[in-house]
Structure 1
Amino acid sequence: MFRRHLVAIALLFPLSSPASADTAPRSVDVSASAEIKVVPDVILLDVGVETRHAQLDQAKRSNDDNVAQALAFLKRSGVPDKDVQTDFISIEPSYHADYSLTRPQIYIVRKSIGIKLSRIGDLEKVLTGLLSSGVQYIHGIEFRTTELRKHRDAARALAVQAAKQKADALAAELGVRRGPVLNVSESYAGGWWRSGSRWGGGMSGGQMMQNVMQNSAGGGESADGETLSVGQISVSASVSTRFAIE
């Protein structure tokens, strides 16, 4: 009696499978991206001071003097103390090629300074002044926007519109209509651009390629006599959506 009951239950499940498959909604999956170009309003600088000397105390003293010169210049230039930070320091002994010698030939002292510039028009003046005030390296220049959330929201809205238009076009070609959205996911990129690398190396930057582009602000042009231009940075958003089709 018990075995017959199990067989009866097992026979019920195959009968319900075709019915559940028929109720799955027909759908179309599309993805779209949007990019907005904005003028940066904040610049992050990463600069470095390097000194070398046979005596460790002299190498460190020279490095401290150069850093003090750079900090004094930044103060004179009106950069707030809260926007200046020493964020890296290293002391490295350098030995003769003959590794049997244990006494260092020289000591290398390195120190980096992070700087936030809210007046982007001061970029060239600050860079020139730093290089004349004890700084030997410009490790990196990073352009950012303080309104990243606003620009990302705008890029996402454009991406959603692009996804709808793409779904409508696909549905029309297939002789159906776009129905309600069944699923959606999003991702972001951009809002900053960086060049350079610490203590040597190449220059690096990023450009995203999207299928929608919109300029949200003009400007970014250099004034007469300047050799640096902040240009524009990209803020992008991508969406992947699934629409029902009717």
Structure 2
Amino acid sequence: MRSSFAKGTYFVAGVLVAVAVVAAVAIGAWDHDGSRATAIQTDTTRTINVSGEGIVSVTPDVAVLNLGVNIRDPQLATAQSNATTAMNSVRDALKRAGIADKDVQTTNYSVYVEQDYNQPNQPIIGYNVTQMVTVKVREIGKAGEVIQTAVDAGANQVNGIWFTLEDTSSAVRQARELAVTDARSRAEHLASLSNATLGSVLTISEGTSASGAPMPYPAAAAEKGGGAPSLDPGTLQVVVTVSVSYVMQ
């Protein structure tokens, strides 16, 4: 009986081992088949990725000025008071020149302490108070007159002027159309060089910019009573770039 039981045990164990081996082979075959199926189903779409650019030149219709006052005094309270008085005078003059309150915005108010660094204890010898505003001039031809008006009213800081477009939407649309046309032309050329044809668009993205950096304009150029400066707005460039991915057939 012991011998039969032992033989039976060995037989069952052998069957289990055989089943395990068969199962392992089956699983391995399934894994390999699955891998092959995945490789076959992998997306092998060929693409052409290009960039296009559209540029539209426009005439500015708004001038933006950056101007203000800088007042120095040995006493901080006096410097602040005088700066406020001077800035209020400038604001009143701008309003009389036709500049609306909504087109004047404070951009900087700072206090700088002056010290005598040649003395051992570096005493405070004065205070500089600066207040700056940006002024939007919608009648662009009057920008020079507005600068002179501000200077005559007490502005002694004119840090720059730049020209812009109030509404860029139309120019952006035109530039976008040019950019997309440019991108497609590039893609078609690449496809023809590759003995292929151009398919549908897979993805597209856009970037927009407009030129027009501030021009420095020192207040000394518009001294009191010196006459309004002559300004040339020139042109602006509205630029749209697109990145497009096409199917290549």
Percent of aligned pairs with the same residue? 25
Aligned to 2:159: 139
Asked whether 1:195 is paired with 2:214, we answer yes
1:149 to 169, 176, 192: 169
Task: Work out whether residues 95 and 101 of structure 1, in 8 Å CA contact, stay in contact via their aligned partners in 2.
Answer: no
Q: Scaled by the length of structure 1, what TM-score is found?
A: 0.80
Q: How far 1:146 moved relative to its partner?
A: 2.1
User: Aligned equivalents of 2:173 and 2:134: distance in 1?
Assistant: 30
Asked whether 1:172 is paired with 2:218, we answer no
User: Aligned equivalents of 1:71 and 1:138: distance in 2?
Assistant: 14
Q: How far 1:58 moved relative to its partner?
A: 2.3
Q: Scaled by the length of structure 2, what TM-score is found?
A: 0.79
2:134 to 88, 111, 114: 114
Task: Work out whether residues 171 and 238 of structure 2, in 8 Å CA contact, stay in contact via their aligned partners in 1.
Answer: yes
Asked whether 1:61 is paired with 2:81, we answer yes
Amino acid at match of 2:133: I
Gaps of 5+ in 2: 1-19, 219-227
Asked whether 1:12 is paired with 2:12, we answer no
Larger helix share, 1 or 2: 2
1:98 to 115, 118, 142: 118
User: Aligned equivalents of 2:35 and 2:205: distance in 1?
Assistant: 34
Q: 1:177 to 1:82 in 2, by over 3 A?
A: same
Asked whether 1:183 is paired with 2:186, we answer no
Amino acid at match of 1:245: M
Secondary structure in structure 1 of the residue aligned to 2:102: helix
Q: How does 1:160-239 map to 2 (within 5 A)?
A: 160-190=180-210, 193-195=212-214, 227-239=230-242
Q: How far 1:99 moved relative to its partner?
A: 5.9
User: Aligned equivalents of 2:229 and 2:87: distance in 1?
Assistant: 26
User: Aligned equivalents of 2:116 and 2:63: distance in 1?
Assistant: 41
User: Aligned equivalents of 1:71 and 1:130: distance in 2?
Assistant: 8
Task: Indicate the RMSD between aligned Cα atoms, in angstroms.
Answer: 2.4
Q: How far 1:4 moved relative to its partner?
A: 4.1
Secondary structure in structure 1 of the residue aligned to 2:148: helix
Q: 1:166 to 1:41 in 2, by over 3 A?
A: same
Asked whether 1:74 is paired with 2:74, we answer no
Deviations 1:57-99 (A, max 9, x none): 2222321222122112101101112212333211222110136
The number of residue pairs the alignment matches comes to 219
User: Aligned equivalents of 1:118 and 1:91: distance in 2?
Assistant: 31
* Greater Rg by CA: 2
Aligned to 1:203: none
Deviations 1:186-218 (A, max 9, x none): 11111x523158x9xxxxxxxxxxxxxxxxxxx
Deviations 1:172-193 (A, max 9, x none): 2222221111221111111x52
Asked whether 1:245 is paired with 2:248, we answer yes
Higher mean C-alpha deviation, range 140-149 or range 68-77: 140-149
Task: Work out whether residues 51 and 63 of structure 1, in 8 Å CA contact, stay in contact via their aligned partners in 2.
Answer: yes
